[in-house]
Amino acid sequence: MKYLLIAIVAALLFIPFLGAVHLFDWDEINFAEAAREMIVSGNYSQVQIDFKPFWEKPPLFIWMQVLSMQLFGVNDFAARFPNAVIGIVTLLTFFHIGKKTGDEKLGLWWALVYAGSWLPHFYFKSGIIDPTFNYFIFLSLYFAYRIGYAAKPTRMAIYSGVALGLAVLTKGPAAILIAVLTLIVYWIYNKFRIHIKIIHLVWITLFAVLTTALWFGYEIISHGWWFVNEFVIYQWRLFSTPDAGHGGPFFYHWIVLLIGCFPASIFLLSYIQTARGKSIYLQQSTESKDFKVWMWILFWVVLLLFSIVKTKIVHYSSLCYFPLSFLAALQVHRLLEGRFTLKGWNIVCMLVIGVILGLAISLLPLVGIYKADLIPHIGDRFAKANLEADVPFSFGEMAYGLVYTILVIVSSVLLFKRKTRQGLLCLFISTLVMIQVTVLHFVPKVERFSQGAAIDWFKSFVGKDVYVRPLSYKSYAYMYYTKKLPPVNENYYNDQWLLEGPVDKPTYFICRITDSDPWRAHPNLEVIGEKNGFVFLKRK
């Protein structure tokens, strides 16, 4: 009965209004466009972008989006629906594992802590690959941990290998790197003793290879090595060099987890403080202790690995959400059982971060209301033009953030007064509700500022036999929102031909205002409009 209740609540949290806002460039539109092109081209083996091979990602998540689009049509809701389903499955998995590791209360708190924290919840309402990728890696490591305690360890090894293979098919060999590093660190931490025997590693490897061979093997047999070779080269470049615009300091992901995983991150800090105590375990079984060790190691492996990796993108550390939420839920469970008391500095830290988030949300409407006064003080031309978008705001909208701020303060006061259960429920449930408000009310308005004008322009070309291309900036939106068909003329891929050659269709371009000067001066182009930071041009 509890499983059904969790599934229903999760479905209500993750599924409604998935299409309320356009997909965001790059990642969301990238994957959705690949799925759309699979449907249009009928080529379900190779991932394509602009109807040319795209070897940056394997196809599993794209296939999931294809199935969703076959059910719901090619739209934004369908692109995000697979992650909503993964979100439901994830919360059910947390409840099951938490109940098995400790008791039902731990399982319920794990689900609530995860769903009631900002980024962990928000990602299940997105169309990016990482929530699905993270789930399969987590499953693989969970089944590997279970090898030492299950009645049929070989079955656990097989499950682990299949899950690892699915993770590779979702995003690539980073899954293998994370799994192997976690296994090695666990082995060293456990003084070179491990429940996983050589034969179990063989089974894991065998079924991981068999699972990945469903695509890699087929692709190699059907089309040779070139596509797979380009895929491997890209993955190596991603780890070894920073992508343009995606560098960052070593502590980038530490800050992301502290702020983005609020309020779970506060209880992780508390956990770190009390981790040396023997009472950290819910029960004194070796199995429960061992799972905590696996989660602790997974957290640090992922955090340190992606702190070292040159490319810094928010969702790279999102696998940390799984162990972070478990350790936070474990600490919440201990707190409710009276095994320790929350330190004053933990509550103060919670209060500071919560109030900052609440005030940021409450001040957002003021940006829209007083944008005319702010624009002269902004140096970036594109940002200034973005703010000119006609997006209505009112003072009444400040109430959302102010109410959240008040509820965080109330939660803190309750925790100070040792009214622990009331304080925790107030904190996590208010955050959960505020996430829904933010996604439904504020994100669409932010999207109108950031890319709304461009998306509207692209959508105006649906069904028209024209060429549309961006100039001086990278985008996938022009393909997805124009519902672009495969080009008949291969010259389309040649920018020089589109700009100066004998084009055979009306040809349109878009650029950002910051890059527009040389294109305004181009003898073959004429400006046909500009809006909110985007300049629209047509080939003469």
pLDDT-based confidence at residue 278 (cuts at 50, 70, 90): very low
Give Cβ neighbours of residue 59 (< 8 Å, ≥ 6 apart). 38, 44, 45, 46, 47, 169, 215
Q: How far is Cα 221 from Cα 227, in angstroms, rounded to an integer?
A: 11
- pLDDT, tens only, 159-179: 999 999 999 999 988 899 999
The answer, as to whether pTM is greater than 0.85, is: yes
Q: Is the pLDDT confidence value at 334 over 50?
A: yes
Q: Is the pLDDT confidence value at 416 over 80?
A: yes
What's the pLDDT at 241?
Answer: 64
Q: How far is Cα 333 from Cα 151, in angstroms, rounded to an integer?
A: 28
Q: How far is Cα 481 from Cα 464, in angstroms, rounded to an integer?
A: 12
Kind of pairing between the strands at 52-53 and 467-470 = unpaired
| C-beta of residue 182 within 8 angstroms of C-beta of residue 297 | yes
Cα torsion 66, 69, 74, 78: sign: negative
Per cent of the chain over pLDDT 90 is: 82
Mean pLDDT, all residues of the chain: 93
* pLDDT: which is higher, 339 or 263: 263
Cα torsion 63, 69, 70, 74: sign: negative
Q: Is the pLDDT confidence value at 454 over 70?
A: yes
Structure tokens at 206: 């065998």
pLDDT-based confidence at residue 309 (cuts at 50, 70, 90): confident
Helix axes 130-146, 174-189, angle to 10 degrees: 40
Q: How far is Cα 257 from Cα 57, in angstroms, rounded to an integer?
A: 25
* pLDDT: which is higher, 342 or 56: 342
Distances from the Cα of 126 to the Cα of 85, 279, 448, angstroms: 11, 38, 17
pLDDT-based confidence at residue 65 (cuts at 50, 70, 90): very high
* pLDDT: which is higher, 309 or 316: 316
pLDDT-based confidence at residue 295 (cuts at 50, 70, 90): very high
What's the pLDDT at 232?
Answer: 72
What's the pLDDT at 274?
Answer: 78
Structure tokens at 446: 């932010």
- pLDDT, tens only, 184-241: 999 999 988 888 999 999 999 999 999 999 998 888 887 777 777 777 777 666 666 6
Q: Is the pLDDT confidence value at 280 over 90?
A: no
Q: Phi and psi dihedrals of 50, rounded to 5?
A: 60, 30
Strand order in the sheet with 525-531: 467-470, 507-512, 534-539, 525-531
Q: Is the pLDDT confidence value at 534 over 90?
A: yes
pLDDT-based confidence at residue 246 (cuts at 50, 70, 90): low
Q: Is the pLDDT confidence value at 117 over 60?
A: yes
Q: How far is Cα 431 from Cα 153, in angstroms, rounded to an integer?
A: 40
Q: How far is Cα 474 from Cα 51, in angstroms, rounded to an integer?
A: 16
- pLDDT, tens only, 370-412: 999 998 989 899 999 999 999 999 999 999 999 999 999 999 9
What's the pLDDT at 231?
Answer: 73
pLDDT-based confidence at residue 245 (cuts at 50, 70, 90): low
Give Cβ neighbours of residue 301 (< 8 Å, ≥ 6 apart). 178, 181, 182, 185
What's the pLDDT at 306?
Answer: 92
What's the pLDDT at 273?
Answer: 82
Q: SS3 of 511, please?
A: strand
Per cent of the chain over pLDDT 70 is: 96
Q: SS3 of 537, please?
A: strand
Q: Phi and psi dihedrals of 249, rounded to 5?
A: -70, 165
DSSP3 helix / strand / coil % (the chain, rounded to 5): 70, 5, 25
| C-beta of residue 136 within 8 angstroms of C-beta of residue 170 | yes
What's the pLDDT at 310?
Answer: 77
What's the pLDDT at 281?
Answer: 44
Residue 214's Cβ-side half-sphere holds a number of Cα atoms within 13 Å equal to 18
- pLDDT, tens only, 466-511: 999 999 999 999 999 999 999 999 999 999 999 999 999 999 999 9
Give Cβ neighbours of residue 480 (< 8 Å, ≥ 6 apart). 23, 29, 32, 33, 36, 458
Q: Is the pLDDT confidence value at 128 over 80?
A: yes
- Please report which helix (H) or strand (E) contains residue 470, including its range: strand 467-470
